[in-house]
Chain A
């Protein structure tokens, strides 16, 4: 499924990120393809907030729609 379909509190594995620049930026933030993250908040219709350890990242809905994840981990 894609990241925009995730629910608050759910854990998931990032399978793919859409573009090279997004992948590079995500790697700096500490998130790579294959990484397991937790969804800490979903703004209705808006960004999805994912966290890993103490790092939190807000991802716009349009981008979340292009991120493939594997849920129910």
Chain B
């Protein structure tokens, strides 16, 4: 076989072996098939340029390759591009469809059949379908599609024996009417039927491979395919009853604001208890302090000092305060890894259960006002775990404009978990009105920055347009697998950046640049923020790691107001050095510098504003007045929001822009 040129991942297929590709819509139970067929010997590799993984394993003398769940194959997003490339290189496709969502799922089935590859369909979840009153005529479905169809219940391994026995009876099916005729002239030029189909359907990437103009027939072909699928659906599905199940009712409750907001708050509270209290406290206490700082660091210091003294320049860089072998490793493995695993665990849980798209639906309206759509909630939640991780996750947003806004807001306003820990500790001693001041100022900056960006950036963000899959109990093996793959990829991607960051800062320390910056900043700290001179050191440390900055403040004798001013400033201050490096990697240099620079300005501007306002409103030696400052910020935010809305309204009437998916 001469396939595999374009799949991006090298997969070894034994001599004469077949490439069996597993394909299906999201949430069809595909992974259970993969695990069952391949057993435990599975290879996983990252698809270049994405955060997605491709798994494959041996099945006899053949290879089974998994693909991301997609609704169709073309170039809409990373998942589709990968699924497309792998399906186009297949010798046989095992297509898993959900009997509950046959009408939706058969679109992909028909598209795969149209590529001309031999197909066998596993009609999964027939037990769920039966419970919902959906009866599928399997024989008729097989006749109409022209390929074998095997009913299965994957979670109970039902139908798997028959599927294995009949796997190689897979055959090319009945093509969408009219496609054949249009394909023939292209097949002669391209030589591959599947690629010819995608060119006809206007896929720009495949067309470019052959130096051809992408076809303009996508809509027409999609429409005919949809008509054919609907006609098949009409003939094979019989609905007996239609009662609203528990899952449907709960799904509704999750998206209605009146019930959905309490459910979301309850979920976030559970997440806080699990991650904020248990992982950040108990687990990190053990991994960071006991294991890394208690055992690992002394051991590595002792080892290195046999060759070079710690006080020398290479010594400082390797095992000093920000040492590559000490701080970087401790931070990554002791502190960050448990937190990242915790956050990804919840994210996978939400994803697998079908709750995530419902959260996105619930908060869509709120996020619209800051230029994002409901899906933007994912990086924002993750940002409270680690801003670096969240910044990488912004790749899932559908337009460049949304990524810009999300990354800027993450860098500016979202405190990561490491920083939150220190901040919460300092706020706890101050009383609720100071807590309110802190939270409100940060929140109003988030709203103002988002609204301003949404108004000033050209274009229009993509509107929410998502499938709401049925709610289901998450499968724990699935959730764990996702959690570990995502965590592993994050750490692999971020580790070099954390190391580079530590290296930079050690260099600054050795060369005296760090001290120079501290002195440079001092007048601003004293005169404008009304903080002691030493606070400048804390801010500079914040360039390295945000929690370092916050922790540096605990050692200073500060009044309650000074503490709040310092905390606000450090929260809005530049993201940690690893996040900054990720921003530089993900965005253009100019944009990254702009984000970094404006974080400096915003942090000192807002911090100073709070300090100066509090002084203004508290005449004499009286108690510091918090309420007027809060009211001022509320009023200021309202003014900004209203002005921006007016500006936007005048603009939308003059130009209506076409929104769409990114077609990178």
Contacts and interface: CB of A to CB of B under 8 A. Distances in A.
Given A57-B466, A60-B364, A60-B373, A49 B104 contact: no
Given A27-B223, A58-B360, A45 B464 contact: no
Given A58-B357, A58-B466, A60-B465, A43 B660 contact: no
Interface stretch (B250-258, B492-500, B506-514, B594-602): B250-258
B364 A30 contact: no
Nearest to A42: B256
Interface in B83-110: 100-101, 103-104, 107-108
A10 interface: no
B218 interface: yes
Contacts of B310: none
B23 to A, nearest CB: 14
B101 A55 contact: yes
A43 B103 contact: no
Most buried by A among B101, B103, B460, B465: B465
Contacts of B464: 47, 58-60, 63
B125 to A, nearest CB: 11
A22 to B, nearest CB: 7
A72 interface: no
B484 interface: no
Contacts, number: 130
For the complex, would chain A's binding face be called helix, strand, loop or mixed by DSSP majority? mixed
B296 interface: no
A45 B100 CA distance: 31
B555 interface: no
Interface in A20-41: 20-30, 32, 40-41
Contact of A32 (B223, B465, B466, B659): B223
Contacts of B364: 43, 46-47, 58, 60-61
Contacts of B257: 43-44, 46
A70 interface: no
Contacts of B226: 27, 30, 32
Contacts of B230: 30
B132 A54 contact: yes
A20 B663 CA distance: 12
A60 B374 contact: yes
Contacts of A57: 465-468
Interface in B25-50: none
Contacts of A29: 71, 104, 467
B75 to A, nearest CB: 10
Contact of B107 (A27, A59, A62): A27
B467 A56 contact: yes
Contact of B76 (A25, A62, A63): A25
Nearest to B659: A19
Contacts of B72: 24, 28
A22 B76 CA distance: 11
B362 interface: yes
A21 B107 contact: no
Interface string B653-664: 000001111010
Contacts of B663: 21
B463 A30 contact: no
Contacts of B76: 21, 24-25
Nearest to A46: B365
A22 B223 contact: no
Nearest to B99: A54
A60 B252 CA distance: 16
B645 to A, nearest CB: 13
Nearest to B106: A30
B255 A45 contact: no
A54 B230 CA distance: 13
Contact of A43 (B365, B463, B659): B365
Contacts of B71: 25, 28-29
Nearest to B239: A53
Interface centre among A41, A43, A49 (most CB of B within 10 A): A43
5 contacts: A21-B661, A25-B661, A27-B225, A47-B464, A58-B468
Given A44-B365, A47-B365, 7 more contacts: A23-B222, A43-B364, A43-B365, A46-B365, A57-B466, A58-B468, A62-B659
Q: Which 8 A-B pairs have the closest CB atoms?
A: A60-B464, A60-B463, A46-B365, A63-B463, A56-B468, A28-B71, A58-B361, A21-B660
Interface of B: 71-72, 74, 76, 100-101, 103-104, 107-108, 132, 134, 218-219, 222-223, 225-227, 229-230, 251-252, 255-257, 357, 360-362, 364-365, 368, 373-374, 460, 463-468, 470, 658-661, 663
Interface of A: 18-30, 32, 40-41, 43-47, 49, 52-63
